């Protein structure tokens, strides 16, 4: 059921620090990604070679109690790109189950496909940066919901009095399943982008060729590019050897 795809564009994360995960051995990075399918398994009916897809980074076990309950983002046996010793999507090829690959409409670029994360209409922090977390809590409406998606600084000073006064609901959201919006958040986000209700392109502030990946990582770490501009999302296009 697995399929291989050619990765054209990948987003990546700089540090690996989701929960217990802290890898010291070298691995290939590359997490949220989009690509072009180059091969499909014989039983795959939903996708074909040449399709452009957004990809969840994880391969879930589908057998643990969380997977059986539909909460696969909490899968205890997940093999996740660029996490816990698993090589990431900056490989030229990457194999994933078809059901975690989402076909992109023609209106969406691969770069946008690498960015759909989680939705809208509440405060969702995707940075993990203390100042953004604090700002997000201040921006949330009374009795609103704040969702932590980004993994950044492990321990953050939170304006708890504001949480208390506004009666905010604070949620964590790990990976791509039900943590925030229930199964299908990838498909829902692609729809929102396709309808023009969510703009992803302004989030892409920098692009670096693959042979300057170290500069891309530095830009993300510093939050500022060599051009002096604020860095939000940095993209590394990954083409196959010999492919322009």
CB 231 within 8 A of CB 223: yes
List binders of Zn ion among 5-64 (CB under 5 A). Answer: 61, 64
- Roughly how many angstroms between the first and final C-alpha of the chain, as a whole number? 29
Q: Shortest gap between Cβ of 79 and Zn ion (angstroms)?
A: 10
Q: How far apart are CA 82 and CA 13, in angstroms?
A: 8
Q: Shortest gap between Cβ of 99 and Zn ion (angstroms)?
A: 14
- Complex with Zn ion: residue 59 or 233, whichever CB lies closer: 59
- Tokens 């078809």 correspond to what residue? 98
- Complex with Zn ion: residue 74 or 239, whichever CB lies closer: 74
Question: By CB under 5 A, is residue 183 in contact with Zn ion?
Answer: no
Q: Shortest gap between Cβ of 78 and Zn ion (angstroms)?
A: 6
- Complex with Zn ion: residue 72 or 217, whichever CB lies closer: 72
- Tokens 């322009």 correspond to what residue? 244
CB 3 within 8 A of CB 50: no
Number of residues that bind Zn ion (CB under 5 A): 4
Q: How far apart are CA 191 and CA 10, in angstroms?
A: 20
Check residue 223 and report its DSSP letter.
Answer: T
Q: Shortest gap between Cβ of 47 and Zn ion (angstroms)?
A: 22
- Complex with Zn ion: residue 67 or 235, whichever CB lies closer: 67
List binders of Zn ion among 143-182 (CB under 5 A). Answer: none
x/- binding map, residues 53-92, to Zn ion, per CB under 5 A?
--------x--x--x-------x-----------------
CB 6 within 8 A of CB 235: no
- Complex with Zn ion: residue 61 or 92, whichever CB lies closer: 61
Contacts of 179 (CB under 8 A, 6+ apart): 73, 74, 118, 147, 171, 172, 173
Q: Shortest gap between Cβ of 25 and Zn ion (angstroms)?
A: 24
Contacts of 70 (CB under 8 A, 6+ apart): 177, 178, 183
Q: Shortest gap between Cβ of 11 and Zn ion (angstroms)?
A: 24
Q: Shortest gap between Cβ of 60 and Zn ion (angstroms)?
A: 5
Beta strands in 92-244, from DSSP E residues, in sequence order: 93-97, 101-103, 123-125, 145-148, 169-172, 204-207, 233-237
CB 173 within 8 A of CB 147: yes
- Complex with Zn ion: residue 179 or 225, whichever CB lies closer: 179
- Complex with Zn ion: residue 67 or 200, whichever CB lies closer: 67
| Contacts with Zn ion, residue ranges (CB under 5 A) | 61, 64, 67, 75
């Amino acid at each position: 059921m697995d399929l291989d795809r050619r990765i054209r564009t990948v987003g990546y994360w700089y540090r690996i620090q989701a929960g217990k995960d802290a890898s010291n051995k070298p691995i290939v990075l590359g997490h949220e990604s989009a690509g072009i399918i180059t091969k499909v398994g014989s039983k795959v009916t939903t996708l074909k070679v040449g399709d452009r897809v957004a990809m969840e980074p994880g391969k879930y076990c589908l057998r643990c109690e969380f997977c059986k309950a539909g909460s696969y983002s909490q899968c205890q046996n997940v093999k996740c790109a660029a996490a816990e010793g698993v090589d990431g999507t900056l490989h030229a090829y990457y194999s994933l189950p078809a059901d975690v690959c989402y076909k992109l409409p023609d209106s969406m670029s691969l770069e946008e496909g690498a960015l759909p994360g989680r939705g809208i209409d509440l405060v969702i922090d995707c940075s993990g940066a203390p100042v953004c977390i604090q700002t997000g809590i201040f921006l949330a409406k009374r009795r609103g919901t704040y969702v932590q998606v980004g993994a950044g600084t492990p321990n953050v000073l939170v304006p708890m009095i504001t949480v208390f006064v506004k009666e905010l609901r604070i949620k964590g959201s790990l990976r791509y399943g039900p943590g925030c919006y229930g199964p299908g958040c990838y498909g829902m986000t692609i729809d929102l982008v396709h309808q023009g209700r969510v703009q992803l392109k302004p989030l892409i502030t920098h692009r670096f060729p693959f042979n300057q990946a170290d500069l891309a990582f530095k830009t993300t770490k510093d939050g500022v590019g060599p051009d002096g501009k604020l860095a939000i999302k940095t993209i590394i296009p990954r083409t196959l050897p010999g492919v322009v």
